């Protein structure tokens, strides 16, 4: 069965939450409309023949709340204009200002940064119009109301900025995770494909040289190449499978060193591997890294060292894993510069807080020594 991706899951969750928000806004608008209509009909004798206009304005004020998330600035302008017209030409309502207060809070919370900043500038003319239609004679009343309205806007605006900061932080973390995953994938594919191709190139070169002199041995080398290629395809399939579903039990580890050394011997390099039994009991991630380090070191032996023998030693020393690979090849010259393979080994070692050394061995050839801390 196809597994849903993180993106599709998130989109599905967003689709599930949007109708709930819309239902909440419509319910809020309906509640305010009922309250405003009840208040309007309660003041029917004072409103008189202006009742149809009063009802229409109540519908505009309440209806603006239904779209406050989708168009916060437009709905707040409509609500403020209707509230001002109600106060100036009909009769100031005791309910509708609270709908306008929610609209201002929504502008601060849901509006873009530029549009949300228009909120305080829009409040003042609307408040002047509203209080022009009332009987208030105390300046303290409009000032206190203005403070409450601006406080509501500030709460919404501050909440929006905190949400933006949280989303920006989440994007940074997500991008970092994606970048680290890309590095891990590139490292895995480099170790796998580079190792296999180098072995097959060595085997192909040997088969070409023996083709005329020893057809039987050439046939054996070609069979070995086929076997190596099949193993590589299987391991590549495992790596790609890990990208879809992280199943650690499919990963190679130190227990598969025998298969690795056998492939090296088919390429003409005798490998002696000594693995401490305690080294088989490692966390899966460390077990994989140790295997890849040995694999890359032996690949370099085939590709650059022109060696005939190699020694691999893996032992556990307390809370550290000691990995050493030596060969009897040509060693290093004065212009020795580490390549991508050794850089990948260094990255793996850093992940476990360890250290790595590589260069010429004491008895010639090339030596790689890595120490990885066991989590």
Residue partners of 345: CB distance under 8 A and separation at least 6: 292, 293, 296, 297, 356, 358, 368, 370
What percentage of the chain reaches a pLDDT higher than 70? 77
pLDDT at 250: 46
CA distances from 284 to 189, 249, 306, 351 (A): 18, 8, 32, 14
Return d(Cα 71, Cα 75) in angstroms, integer: 6
pLDDT at 336: 64
pLDDT digits (tens, 9 = 90+) for 278-310: 888 888 888 888 888 888 888 777 776 677 888
| Neighbour count for residue 155 (Cβ, 10 Å) | 14
pLDDT at 283: 85
Q: Are 60 and 90 contacting, i.e. CB atoms less than 8 angstroms apart?
A: no
Average pLDDT over residues 211-235: 72
Does position 184 have pLDDT exceeding 70, yes or no? no
Residue predicted with more confidence, 303 or 40? 40
Does position 248 have pLDDT exceeding 60, yes or no? no
pLDDT at 210: 73
pLDDT at 19: 56
Residue predicted with more confidence, 177 or 284? 284
pLDDT at 78: 92
Residue partners of 127: CB distance under 8 A and separation at least 6: 142, 145, 146, 149
Average pLDDT over residues 161-186: 75
The residues that bridge with 317 in the sheet, in sequence order, are 320
CA angle 127, 132, 136 (to 5 degrees): 95
Pairing outcome for strands 366-373 and 355-360: antiparallel
Return d(Cα 198, Cα 187) in angstroms, integer: 16
Return d(Cα 203, Cα 221) in angstroms, integer: 6
pLDDT digits (tens, 9 = 90+) for 321-345: 999 998 887 777 666 667 777 888 8
pLDDT at 72: 93
The per-residue pLDDT of the chain, averaged, comes to 79
Average pLDDT over residues 247-271: 74
Is residue 125 very low, low, confident or very high in pLDDT (cuts 50, 70, 90)?
Answer: confident
Average pLDDT over residues 183-195: 66
pLDDT at 77: 92
pLDDT at 141: 60
Calculate the dihedral angle through the C-alpha atoms of 10, 16, 19, 20, rounding to the nearest 10 degrees: -100
Does position 245 have pLDDT exceeding 90, yes or no? no
Alpha helices in 48-139 (DSSP H): 51-66, 72-85, 96-110, 113-116, 119-132
CA angle 10, 16, 17 (to 5 degrees): 90
Pairing outcome for strands 309-317 and 270-275: parallel
pLDDT at 68: 92
* 256 CA to centre of own chain: 32
- For the stretch 235-246, what's the b/e string if a residue is b when 16 or more beta carbons lie within 10 angstroms of its beta carbon? beebbeebeeee
The predicted model scores a pTM of: 0.50
CA distances from 30 to 63, 66, 125, 312, 353 (A): 8, 9, 27, 77, 61
């Amino acid at each position: 069965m196809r597994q849903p991706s993180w993106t599709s899951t998130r989109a599905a969750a967003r689709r599930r939450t949007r109708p709930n928000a819309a239902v909440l806004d419509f319910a809020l608008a309906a509640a305010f409309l009922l309250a405003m209509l009840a208040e309007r009909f309660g003041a029917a004798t004072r409103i008189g023949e202006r009742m149809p206009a009063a009802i229409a304005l109540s519908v505009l004020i309440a209806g603006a709340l239904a779209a406050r998330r989708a168009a916060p600035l437009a709905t707040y302008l409509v609500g403020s204009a209707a509230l001002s017209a109600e106060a100036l030409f009909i009769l100031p309502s005791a309910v509708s200002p609270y709908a306008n207060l929610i609209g201002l809070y929504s502008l601060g919370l849901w509006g873009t940064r530029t549009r949300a900043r228009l909120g305080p500038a829009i409040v003042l003319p609307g408040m002047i119009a509203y209080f022009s239609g009332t009987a208030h004679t105390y300046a303290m009343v409009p000032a206190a109301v203005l403070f409450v309205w601006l406080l509501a806007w500030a709460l919404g605006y501050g909440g929006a900025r905190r949400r933006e900061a949280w989303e920006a932080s989440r994007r940074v973390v997500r991008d970092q995770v994606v970048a680290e995953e890309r590095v891990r994938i590139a490292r895995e594919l480099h170790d796998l494909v580079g190792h296999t191709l180098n072995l097959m190139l060595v085997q192909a070169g040997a088969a070409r040289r023996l083709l005329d002199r020893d057809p039987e041995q050439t046939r054996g080398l070609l069979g070995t190449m086929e076997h190596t290629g099949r193993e590589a395809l299987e391991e590549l399939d495992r790596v790609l499978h890990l990208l879809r579903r992280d199943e650690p039990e499919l990963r190679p580890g130190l227990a598969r060193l025998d298969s690795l050394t056998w492939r090296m011997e088919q390429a003409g390099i005798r490998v002696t591997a000594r693995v401490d039994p305690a080294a088989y009991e490692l966390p899966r991630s460390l077990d994989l890294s140790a295997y890849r380090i040995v694999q890359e070191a032996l690949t370099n032996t085939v590709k650059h060292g022109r060696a005939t023998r190699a020694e691999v030693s893996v032992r556990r020393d307390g809370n550290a894993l000691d990995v050493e690979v030596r060969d009897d090849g040509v060693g290093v010259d004065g212009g020795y510069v580490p390549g991508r393979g050794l850089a990948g080994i260094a990255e793996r070692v850093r992940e476990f807080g360890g250290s790595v050394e590589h260069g010429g061995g004491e008895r010639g050839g090339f030596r790689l020594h890595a120490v990885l801390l066991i989590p």
